[in-house]
C-alpha cells in the first residue's frame, strides 16, 4: 500500500485501479482542529476509512505526544485528480494548513453495475487491513481501531473539556457527550459490518472461507461416551434425539454450537465449518469417506457422532442459522438439517430438536 505524509505535499502518486493508499497526517483534536477533505474526484478516488491514533501511553494525557489522523483511499477508475485536505476547525473557514496530492490512476476501469453487491466494491470496503483478503481479522481490526479512536477522543477531548469533546454541540462537555460518542461510533461500526463485511463474507464463502474456530468432532458414541468398547457399543445401540445445543457468551461475543447424535457411517472423515451468506450463517457438517483410488471405503456399521464449532465476534441479537450436512459419497445434494433464528443475548442458550429417535431402534432412522 502506498503511504503519504506531510513531506509528500504537492507530489504525484500513481496507482492502479483497485489499489489503496494511506495518508498519515499530524493532528491535535484537543485544539478543535482536524483534517477535512476539500477537493477530489470521487469517481477516481474514494475515501474508505479514517482512524485517529496517538503516541501517548494508554489512558494517559501527556503534552507533546504526537497524534495522527490516517486517511485511507481507494483508486476506483482511471484518471487524474487533485486530492486536497485542509487542517481547520469545523466552525472556521480558514485553514491552518493544507495538504495536496496529485493522484493518477491507471489501468482498466472497475466495473460498477447498479447491483450494490458488486464483489469488487464489497471486498475493497471490507478488506480493512488491506492485505487483499476480506476475512474475520478485518472485523477484529476494525473494532480494535474504533475502540482505540474512542479512547483517544475521550482522553484528548472529553477529559480535557476541550471543544472537540462537546459531541452533542450544546456548549457543555458532560457524560451525555461520552454516551453519545460511544453510541455513534458503535453504530458506525455496525453499519460498516452490515453494509461491507457481511456481504464480503458471502462472496468469500464461495471460496471456502471458514469463519468457525475450535471445531471438534467426537469419536463414535459422542463426546459424553466413555472410551471402553462396551460403552461405545451401548451408545450406538441406544435411541437418541438429534439436537442442536447452543450457548452465547456475551463477554467474549462467542456463540458455541453443538450438534449432538448425528447418525453416520462409522468410517469416514468428518469436518464442520461456518460460512456466511445472504440468509445468515451456515454451519456445514461434512462426511467424506476414505478412498482407495476411486473406491470409497466405508464400514458395515453406523454410529452417533457429535459436531461442535465456535463462531466468534457475534453481536447480541437474533442470529439466522442454517445447519446443513453433506455426505459426499451419496447421490444426494447438501441437506438442510435445521434452519431458524437464535437469540444471542446475555447468557443466552438453547436446545433445538432436530430429529427424534436416531439410532438402532424401531422407527429410528
| Domains of the chain, residue spans | 2-205, 213-358
pLDDT averaged over every residue in the chain: 80
pLDDT per residue as tens digits for the range 113-149: 444 444 445 566 787 877 777 777 888 888 888 888 8
Of the candidate ranges 111-125, 218-232, 276-290, 292-306, the one whose mean pLDDT is the lowest:
111-125
Tell me which DSSP letter residue 128 carries.
T
Residue 360 is predicted with a pLDDT of: 66
* Residue 154 to residues 56, 145, 184, Cα–Cα distance (Å): 13, 14, 14
Pick the CATH number of 2-205 from 3.40.190.10, 2.60.40.2020, 1.20.1050.10, 3.40.50.2300: 2.60.40.2020
% pLDDT > 90, the chain: 24
User: Does position 364 have pLDDT exceeding 70, yes or no?
Assistant: no
Residue 17 is predicted with a pLDDT of: 79
Residue 242 is predicted with a pLDDT of: 93
Q: CA 283 to CA 325: how far, in whole Å?
A: 8
Q: CA 304 to CA 300: how far, in whole Å?
A: 14
- CA torsion sign for 18, 24, 29, 33 is negative
Q: CA 256 to CA 212: how far, in whole Å?
A: 10
Q: CA 145 to CA 147: how far, in whole Å?
A: 5
User: Does position 247 have pLDDT exceeding 90, yes or no?
Assistant: yes
Q: What is the mean pLDDT of residues 190-217?
A: 79
Residue 45 is predicted with a pLDDT of: 85
**To 10 degrees, what angle do helices 119-126 and 198-205 make?**
120
Q: Collapsing DSSP states into helix, strand and coil, what is residue 281?
A: strand
Neighbours of 11 (CB within 10 A): 10
% pLDDT > 70, the chain: 81
Which cell goes with 106? 491507471
Residue 239 is predicted with a pLDDT of: 76
User: Does position 336 have pLDDT exceeding 70, yes or no?
Assistant: yes
Amino acid at each position: 500500500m502506498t503511504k503519504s505524509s506531510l513531506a509528500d505535499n504537492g507530489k504525484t502518486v500513481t496507482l492502479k485501479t483497485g489499489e489503496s493508499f494511506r495518508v498519515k497526517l499530524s493532528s491535535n483534536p484537543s485544539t478543535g482542529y482536524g483534517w477535512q477533505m476539500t477537493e477530489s474526484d470521487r469517481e477516481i478516488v474514494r475515501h474508505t476509512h479514517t482512524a485517529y491514533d496517538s503516541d501517548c501511553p494508554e489512558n494517559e494525557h501527556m503534552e507533546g505526544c504526537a497524534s495522527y489522523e490516517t486517511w485511507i483511499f481507494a483508486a476506483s477508475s482511471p484518471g487524474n485528480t487533485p486530492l486536497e485536505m485542509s487542517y481547520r476547525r469545523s466552525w472556521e473557514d480558514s485553514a491552518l494548513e493544507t495538504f495536496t496530492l496529485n493522484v493518477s490512476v491507471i489501468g482498466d476501469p472497475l466495473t460498477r453495475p447498479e447491483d450494490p453487491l458488486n464483489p469488487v466494491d464489497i471486498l475493497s470496503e471490507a478488506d480493512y487491513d488491506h492485505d487483499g483478503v476480506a476475512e474475520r481479522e478485518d472485523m477484529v481490526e476494525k473494532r480494535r481501531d474504533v475502540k482505540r479512536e474512542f479512547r483517544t477522543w475521550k482522553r484528548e477531548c472529553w477529559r480535557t473539556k476541550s471543544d472537540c469533546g462537546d459531541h452533542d454541540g450544546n456548549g457543555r462537555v458532560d457524560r451525555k457527550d461520552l454516551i453519545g460518542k460511544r453510541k455513534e461510533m458503535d453504530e458506525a461500526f455496525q453499519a460498516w459490518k452490515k453494509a461491507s463485511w457481511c456481504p464480503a463474507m458471502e462472496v468469500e464463502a464461495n471460496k471456502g472461507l471458514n469463519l468457525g474456530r475450535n471445531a471438534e468432532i467426537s469419536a463414535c458414541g459422542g463426546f459424553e461416551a466413555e472410551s471402553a468398547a462396551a460403552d461405545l457399543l451401548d451408545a450406538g445401540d441406544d435411541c437418541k434425539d438429534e439436537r442442536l445445543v447452543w450457548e452465547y457468551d456475551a463477554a467474549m461475543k462467542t456463540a458455541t454450537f453443538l450438534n449432538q447424535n448425528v447418525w453416520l457411517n462409522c468410517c469416514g472423515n468428518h469436518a464442520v465449518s461456518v460460512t456466511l451468506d445472504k440468509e445468515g450463517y451456515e454451519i456445514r457438517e461434512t462426511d467424506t469417506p476414505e478412498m482407495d483410488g476411486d473406491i470409497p471405503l466405508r464400514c458395515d456399521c453406523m454410529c452417533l457422532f457429535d459436531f461442535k464449532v465456535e463462531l466468534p465476534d457475534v453481536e447480541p441479537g437474533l442470529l439466522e442459522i442454517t445447519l446443513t450436512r453433506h455426505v459426499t459419497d451419496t447421490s444426494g445434494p447438501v441437506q438442510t438439517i435445521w434452519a431458524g433464528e437464535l437469540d444471542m443475548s446475555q447468557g443466552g442458550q438453547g436446545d433445538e430438536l432436530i430429529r427424534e429417535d436416531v439410532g438402532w431402534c424401531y422407527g429410528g432412522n
